[in-house]
Amino acid sequence: MARRSSSKAIIRRRLLKAVRNLSLEVQAGILIGVGVVVGFLLGFTASLGRKATRNCPDSPIAQNLRISISSTDRCGDPKSPCYVFVFGTGRSGTQHLSRVLKPKPNPAVPVYVTHEEEHLRARTKLVVHRDYRRLAACADKAQFRVQAEQYITRVKLPFYTKLLKRHSAKRLVYTGHLPMAFGLGPALVRTLPPGTVRVLRLRRERIATAVSLMALGPEKEDPWGATTERDSDGQLIYADAVNRRWFPKPSDAMVRLHVEAHVWAKLNRFQRWLWYVDDVECRWQAFRHSLGSRFSLMEESLENLNMLDGGQSLVRVAEFMGVAVDWSKAGARDNSIEHKMRVKVNASESSLRQWDEAYRQAVGSCRISSKYSYGWGGRHPET
């Protein structure tokens, strides 16, 4: 080893001596030549990397990202109002968004962000039971459409206008799920000024959403009427008599995923909450199919907002909504169920998936137009 080290040192000294004996012009030429060779090798390596990247598929986030800006979109116009809504189910991260999103500093278009503000004075719960449930109880879809558009014109548009004026804003970002969950999306697009509506479709994994919705409270507070619980006299307890949740029922006019009464009676509580999650998806597909060119939309999942991608998904959502991200609140999603000491469902994952499979076979797909139905494998023509 000592002889090898000595030989290398001797060779190195001789090379350095030979280089020093060369003229400055020759030394400069050697350096330039070495630089050219190294540059060529680096460029060749980079080209191979680019070629390999082109041959690789996009990341899952890039593949699943869906953004469509309408040709009539006016949300970038400082003189135009803009209304941004979230199309979700509840327990899908909407409240988290309300905490994480904030107005940009010195924005070109001032923004007001709110979660479930439905009236300047009345409580949201009153608006749900007084207005939304009345609309949902319409005799059929045609009557619901007429009354929903009248309600938007008479009540919601004046409310939104006053809200924007009160906060000196031009863009309203409403992160709550209520208007869309109760079927007002089409009426909002048809009634609000053209090009002023943007909608974020925020999803959460189906089974996780249903389980989380069940944990909101006891079965007697579920929104679908009679339950299996009985009072002290043995009479069935009806949801109307208690604090019914802010969600639609299978008998409501705007529902897309129709379930026959005898099928519904056989569904357990978890499967009924799955129905609600899937009906919201059906109504989103119908909404996109019929009016997708008249509003700007973005689709994102709650799972993508967990910061594992360095916050890129949150940034895209914020850019679409025209707001900024409060990074001090973006790290962990608050789980209000745990804070309120509610108990999650005690069932194994295998049981939940078995119930899901049985539910899918019993309920099937939903009609989203005269030509198309929507099933859990995708949209396909009716046969």
- In tens, the pLDDT along 72-119 reads 999 999 999 999 999 999 888 888 888 999 999 988 899 999 999 999
Beta-carbon contacts of 20 under 8 Å, excluding residues fewer than 6 positions away, are none
pLDDT greater at residue 216 or residue 341: 216
| Number of separate helices (H) and strands (E) present in the chain | 16, 13
Name the residue among 244, 219, 222, 215 with its Cα closest to residue 230. 219
Amino acid at 31: L
3-state secondary structure of 367: strand
Q: Rounded to the nearest 5 degrees, what angle is found at the Cα of 241, between the Cα atoms of 240 and 245? A: 50
Per the prediction, the chain carries an average pLDDT of: 81
199, two tokens = 């909608």
Q: What is the CATH topology of the domain spanning 63-381?
A: Rossmann fold (3.40.50)
Amino acid at 95: Q
pLDDT at 18: 62
DSSP secondary structure, 208-238, as one string: HHHHHHHTTS-GGGSSSSEEEEE-TTSPEEE
pLDDT at 256: 94
Q: Where are the domains of the chain?
A: 63-381
What average pLDDT score do residues 310-320 get? Answer: 93
CA atoms within 13 A on the CB side of 128: 18
- pLDDT bin (cut points 50, 70, 90) of residue 129 is confident
3-state secondary structure of 297: strand
pLDDT greater at residue 45 or residue 87: 87
pLDDT at 142: 97
Q: Which helix (H) or strand (E) holds 354?
A: helix 349-363
Amino acid at 98: S
- In tens, the pLDDT along 208-255 reads 999 999 988 888 888 886 555 666 777 765 555 555 788 999 999 999
pLDDT greater at residue 10 or residue 246: 246
pLDDT at 231: 65
3-state secondary structure of 325: strand
Q: With contact defined as beta carbons under 8 Å apart, do 295 and 197 qualify?
A: yes
pLDDT at 347: 86
pTM score, whole prediction: 0.77
pLDDT reading at 369 higher than 80 = yes
- pLDDT bin (cut points 50, 70, 90) of residue 20 is low
pLDDT greater at residue 345 or residue 39: 345
Q: With contact defined as beta carbons under 8 Å apart, do 199 and 187 qualify?
A: no
- pLDDT bin (cut points 50, 70, 90) of residue 168 is very high
* Sign of the CA dihedral with 73 first, then 283, 180, and 156 last: positive
Which ranges constitute the DSSP H helices of 199-323?
206-214, 261-266, 269-291, 312-321
pLDDT reading at 46 higher than 50 = no
